[in-house]
Structure 1
Amino acid sequence: MDKIYLDHNATTPIAPEVLHIVTSVLRDQVGNPSSVHSMGRSARVLLDEAREQVASLIGASPSEIVFTSGGTEANNLALLGVALGIGKTGGHIVTSQVEHPSVLNPCRQLESMGFVVDRLRVDELGRIDLQSLENCLTESTLLISLQHANSETGVLQDIEKIGEIARKKGVLFHTDAVQSVGKIPLRVQDLPVDMLSISAHKLNGAKGVGALFLKKGSPDLFSPVCGGNQEKKRRGGTENVAGIAGFGKACELAQKRVDSLEFLNLSSLREHFYQLVSTLISGVEIFGDLENRLPNTLNLGFEAVEGDTLLISLDMAGVAVSTGSACSSGSGLPSPVLTAMG
């Protein structure tokens, strides 16, 4: 039976070109990129090339890219880095109720340390109210951390307007763009964004590697991963050379897809799929903003059918879908995102 994989927001299949690079580097490259001998320098060249490829995808400078172990670490570096690097022992952070656990859980940790965290509500379409954001900012606000795209609904927040509010108030702005980078055009030089998180395995790269865009001129961050002086002292630990080299290739491939306007075709397929389903099945409801969402994402509800029951039935039929964020699966609780949307 041919299987159909429809859970790309959880993870994507690794591209053959990426797999080739990862395996060849694991096989042929033995040097530590911090070593000064020729084998170390060879590994360093691979890191430098990948840094340029990742930076190119989002319109950044290579020096603004900090490699991490994934989107979760990138989010932690932004939140804990700002709070503990600038706020030290206190301050105010603004996020939302529909963020990924890798944002919400560090915020809880910071609250236990004396920081104040505001979690903005969203409306029934999953959108953050920008006036509420502006109203909650204070003189002690250190950071706004709001996602670009939601992994469950695909809803896109207006990070340009959010960034403008942050700039006006003199507040740093971090966005979790793990779900949007590589799926839609995104250029940081055109956006008032100070930090932006990326994950390789969301765009056909290998698992276990990601990056944080850190805008030139941003304050020094506290590094939650203490160790050596790697990544310009911003993230300790020997770099995952094979994964990072593959990440660079994945970004190069993603750039070609974005340039070819593949996302427009995906949007058409998404709409066609929804029309078919809603025509064939009664009582279908779509959740989230219909206009501003990822081109590959639909969040549907079916009358009188439990989500887990439908998931298992589809799985038995060879179709892989999800009822929520992969990082929250197995909790047995309703989706926090849909709950926040009412």
Structure 2
Amino acid sequence: MTYDELMSVLAGLRRAQIGNRRAPHKPLLVLWLLGRFAASGATAVTYDEAEDPVSRLINDFGPIVTSRSRARERAAMPFVHLERGLWDLRGRDGSDIGRDTPERGSLLRARGAHGRLRPEAETLLAAPGTLAAAARLLLEQHFTPALETPICEAVGLDLAAMDEADLIPAGRKRRRRRTGFAEEVLQAYAYACAFCGFDGALGRHPVGLEAAHVRWHSQDGPDEVHNGLALCSLHHTLFDLGVLGLLPGLRIQVSPLYVTRSAAGKAVYALHGEPVATPRPGQPAVDAAFVLWHGRQVFKRPGAVTPDVRLG
């Protein structure tokens, strides 16, 4: 396996389909394994060790489920179905565990399931720059920038400390963000948060304001004003985490799963049902198709995910 082959395998991870929603189960398992490798130099792990932390990652950064038993065992899906060109999965007796094995945590625990990234992949990950490049690829393909820090913290990766920018081999292509997108979105909303109206500035320079994609850039969202909102840093993060969402008619919705005790936290509740600010004349409002995408793929709503799971 070469560097390019490893990156190709990671870029081509087949994703399960949960209803019509994204299911970043495999990328989250691999990111967790990369964090494990960064800490110990190895990825070998039993299902029993992986079940709780990987299931929490999927619950936090993937689509929601309502069944408590399913929430506890969500690591079973990627543990079984991660591509075998990358992943070696065996039982207690050393026998291979096939991808047709039922995705049940109780079965995997009973069989003593344990896996590791293949030795040739681990050898490549030990080379300067490869681990950070692999993590960056998965983050860019499956998530949005506001989630990079919380995901990396959750899996134990410090990309800045790896000096990734200097170590990524030349020639690796990324889907670049269009220059000017952020400024166009901020101008369209008169440099004020479309949710709360925050318009802070340091002298003549706006502070704490960001251009948010409604349909994420990593999920083919265009760098255009009709897919953007000017949001303060707090509401951008809450929007990307699915705490805040949009209703048809461009009103704000707050996830029923959001809880708080402080007065500052309760200010988020007050946003529910409030209209999103309209852009300046001549600028397009958010396209309804992107509102629908965010509602289906990001917003945390109880009962939003059906049990209809089809492996891709």
Same fold (TM over 0.5): no
* Shorter-normalised TM range: under 0.3
| TM-score normalised by structure 2 residue count | 0.25
| TM-score normalised by structure 1 residue count | 0.23
